[in-house]
Amino acid sequence: MDNLHHIVVIGGGAGGLELVTRLGNKLGKRKKARITLVDAGLTHVWKPLLHEVASGSLDANANEINYRAHARKHHYEFQLGRMSGLDRQAREIVIAAFRDDDGAEVVPERRISYDTLVLAVGSTANDFGTPGAQQHCLFLDSLEQARRFHKLLLNAFLRKNHEALAGKRHELPITIIGAGATGVELAAELRLASRELPVYGMNHLRSQDVSITVVEAADRILPALPGRLSAAATRELERQHVQVLTGQPVSEVRAGTIVMKDGTELASEMTIWAAGIKAPAFLAELDGLAVNRGNQLVVEQTLQTTGDSNIFALGDCAACPQPDSERPVPPRAQAAHQQADTLFKTLSRRLEGGAAVPFVYNDHGSLINFSRYTTVGNLMGNLSGRSMYIEGKVARLFYISLYRMHQVALHGVVRTGIIWLMDRISRAMHPRLKLH
């Protein structure tokens, strides 16, 4: 085992987990290579679903994957911990000591050797140094943050319901800073929660008592997507009584208040930051590897870092160039999925001395889901290059298929079919919102 080529993947997000699954099934199972996944958490939940966990429309316990169990089934190893250092000359990574909630050391600091290293650590929210953002905003970068948000949301509804019962002022203003896909979809999920929770005993708090506002610095929401999609999303948010404020940069976040660049203030008891992303800061300190201003590792089109051909990066943490384009590959789930596929081919060839495969990004379009209300999106035609606008049930079907494709990559077709059936049964037996 010690003589096997050791591939270490840091980060069990969408791209990282898909990659180790395929490598384990092909190389690990046949004892052609040793595959190790390192992650700071014990379980995986598809990041595009975190806003549904936060609102309560998705039960994370029923949708998370335990890394240890998954590793055993798919022939790779799992190491719990957070990467804290890199020694390129010795080809070793440093994993920080793992501590429990009380601060007691559970596992000491470790060093793991590698032959090939893949960094797939994703991204975190970028608050652009906005004063008060870290202190007064909620974030949705991780499952833990989504669960904390959900608990705070339930408590806020409960508190406002009792204030209404006592005849006190009970308005609940919620503000989402950033109108990208996460911000827009979260707004719809929160509106659904405001309408569903009264059904479960909080009948003194009405949906109209919960004001939801989306604030965007650009002149339209979903600024990175086509204008038609942005306009349709704006109409749907307004139809769901979500206030949309565009061209409004936020200059400061205070307790209970948001201050705009023009000095106007907006009351907000719950403020969520969903504006922009950046790669984790520790990447800028990894033994001389080049990063850009957003902390992304600078890679070649083969996904190899510019400073070390034995180190690769994929997903949100990688700035990957594309032919005939000045912009790198966008930080999207479909890009991470495609990069995992390309890197699987590269690493399989690498064991036999083959050349790395250049990554070519294929944009299949964008889909925005407004909870149970509707879905809108555009699909890119592979032959014509034109986009096709879709909405309603057809768009919803495509949106659901994205998650099912991720599950197929991790579990195979048969097990994904069983999971789908169990999801249907669970929806029929449990409340439409998670109430705890």
CATH number of the domain enclosing 264: 3.50.50.60
Cβ 171 vs Cβ 72: under 8 Å: no
199 is a domain residue: yes
Mean pLDDT per 10-residue interval, the chain, length 436 residues: 88 95 96 96 91 87 90 96 95 93 89 97 93 96 93 92 89 95 94 83 85 96 90 94 95 95 94 94 93 94 95 96 87 93 96 93 88 83 63 84 89 89 75 63
360 is a domain residue: no
> 114 and 146 share a domain?
no
> 147 and 265 share a domain?
yes
> 189 and 201 share a domain?
yes
- What pLDDT is recorded for position 434? 64
State the Cα–Cα distance between residues 39 and 11, nearest whole angstrom. 5
Domain hosting 226: range is 133-276
Chain CA centroid to CA 186, Å: 13
Strand order in the sheet with 83-87: 83-87, 92-95, 110-113
- What pLDDT is recorded for position 132? 96
394 is a domain residue: yes
Total domains in the chain come to: 3
> 105 and 207 share a domain?
no
64 is a domain residue: yes
> 261 and 287 share a domain?
no
- What pLDDT is recorded for position 424? 78
> 175 and 64 share a domain?
no
> 38 and 105 share a domain?
yes
The tokens for 73 are 């089934």
Sequence-ordered strand ranges (E) for 290-353:
297-298, 304-305, 308-313, 318-319
Sequence-ordered strand ranges (E) for 40-179:
43-44, 65-66, 77-80, 83-87, 92-95, 98-99, 105-107, 110-113, 116-119, 124-125, 172-177
358 is a domain residue: no
- What pLDDT is recorded for position 383? 43
**Domain finish residue from 244, 261, 276:** 276
Query: Length of the chain, please?
Result: 436
22 is a domain residue: yes
State the Cα–Cα distance between residues 49 and 9, nearest whole angstrom. 23
Predicted TM-score (pTM) of the model is 0.90
- Contacts of residue 15, defined as CB under 8 A and 6 or more positions apart, other chains included, come to 120, 314, 315, 336, 337, 339, 340
> 405 and 338 share a domain?
no
128 is a domain residue: no
